[in-house]
Amino acid sequence: MSAGHVEPFGARLAAAVSGRGPLCVGIDPHRELLIDWGVGDDLDGLRRFTDAVVDALAGSVAVLKPQMAFYERFGARGVAVLEDAVERIRAAGALVLLDAKRGDIGSTMAAYADYLGSDHPMQVDAMTVSPYLGPESLAPAVRTATSSGGGLFVLARTSNPDAGAFQHALVGERSVAQAVVDAVRGWNTPDRSRSEPPTDVASSMADRSGWGPSTGSFGVVVGATLPELDVDLDGLGGPVLAPGLGAQGGSVADLRRLFGSGRAVVPTVSRDVLAAGPDAGALRAAADRWTADLAV
């Protein structure tokens, strides 16, 4: 799929962060939240919730991250609500990161990646993917992202309690998590072997530069509540999606502790902002507080 002269996702993300700050707000209409908002756990409640979040935040935050599962549970009509929301989010200037965590092989992965294509009825700017079937399983998504100007965030080092059972397992002398990071680094630097971390000075300098027009379109997901950063992100070249702020216990101080100040990090907040709804002003104020805190 061709997207003409669309700027790569990494450059568009860097521009959005420059203008709006790095905050990503998750759109997670889970059952309890719909009930707490008083809109009802049904299709109408889903639509009212989604409309309120989009109207309040799409004009001010850099990235909105709808969780696909919460829309799919209402069937095709739920996905139609999301399709309408995605169009309005992008029209308001925010980027859409579809939190779908897709992962498969061959034509199936290519079909998942169609969400990034310009002729898809629900085109998004980026999506989350799972690398469990191996880095080559994601090759169709990498190709589609490259040709369409889209982006991918690959699950690498998550902070759920038992994540280390798989992510700390060794592949040769590296952990699985590190092997994922190294593969993504290779997608951002195609002239380098995908399986080897960078060793030259230029790569280190690029890593320290943080955001900019050359920010890569391929990023990794690393939890903001990890006790320590146990993967090497030097020279990644792309952004780090860092979920877990707010209700999950992560703080701005945790971001600084884990990632320092020179890395392209997209901090993600969901419940801590959404709990302020359904009032649009309260939602916007909650997001603005996080944006201000992240700017310090």
Mean pLDDT of 261-288: 96
| pLDDT cut 70: percent of the chain above it | 92
Q: Give the domain ranges of the chain.
A: 9-295
Stated pTM of the model: 0.92
Confidence tier at 27 by pLDDT (50, 70, 90): very high
Are the C-beta atoms of residues 93 and 58 closer than 8 Å to each other?
yes
- What's the rounded Cα separation, in Å, for the pair 10 and 150? 8
- What's the rounded Cα separation, in Å, for the pair 71 and 79? 5
> Can you read off the two tokens belonging to residue 185?
């680094």
> Which backbone phi and psi does 103 adopt, to 5 degrees?
-165, 120
The set of catalytic residues is 101
pLDDT digit string (tens) for 172-206? 999 999 999 999 999 998 754 444 444 443 333 33
Alpha carbon 255 to chain centroid, angstroms = 16
3-state helix, strand and coil shares in percent for the chain, rounded to the nearest 5: 45, 15, 35
Helix, strand or coil for residue 256? helix
209-213-219-224 Cα dihedral, nearest 10 degrees: 50
| pLDDT cut 90: percent of the chain above it | 87
Q: What is the mean pLDDT of the chain?
A: 92
pLDDT digit string (tens) for 204-223? 333 334 799 999 999 999 99
Give the model's pLDDT for residue 199. 40
> Can you read off the two tokens belonging to residue 134?
């191996």
Confidence tier at 296 by pLDDT (50, 70, 90): confident
Pairing between β-strand 174-175 and β-strand 170-171 as defined by DSSP bridges: antiparallel
- What's the rounded Cα separation, in Å, for the pair 146 and 8? 7
**Other beta carbons within 10 Å of 56:** 24
pLDDT digit string (tens) for 54-85? 999 999 999 999 999 999 999 999 999 999 99
Give the model's pLDDT for residue 6. 84
Maximum pairwise Cα distance, the chain: 56
- What's the rounded Cα separation, in Å, for the pair 42 and 33? 12
User: Which CATH number is 9-295's, of 3.40.50.300, 3.20.20.70, 2.40.110.10, 3.40.50.720?
Assistant: 3.20.20.70
Give the model's pLDDT for residue 190. 73
Give the model's pLDDT for residue 208. 39
Tell whether the model's pLDDT for residue 101 goes beyond 50: yes
Give the model's pLDDT for residue 5. 74
Give the model's pLDDT for residue 4. 55
> Can you read off the two tokens belonging to residue 146?
């490259």
Burial of 264 (0-12, 13-18, 19+ CB in 10 A): buried
CA atoms within 13 A on the CB side of 37: 32
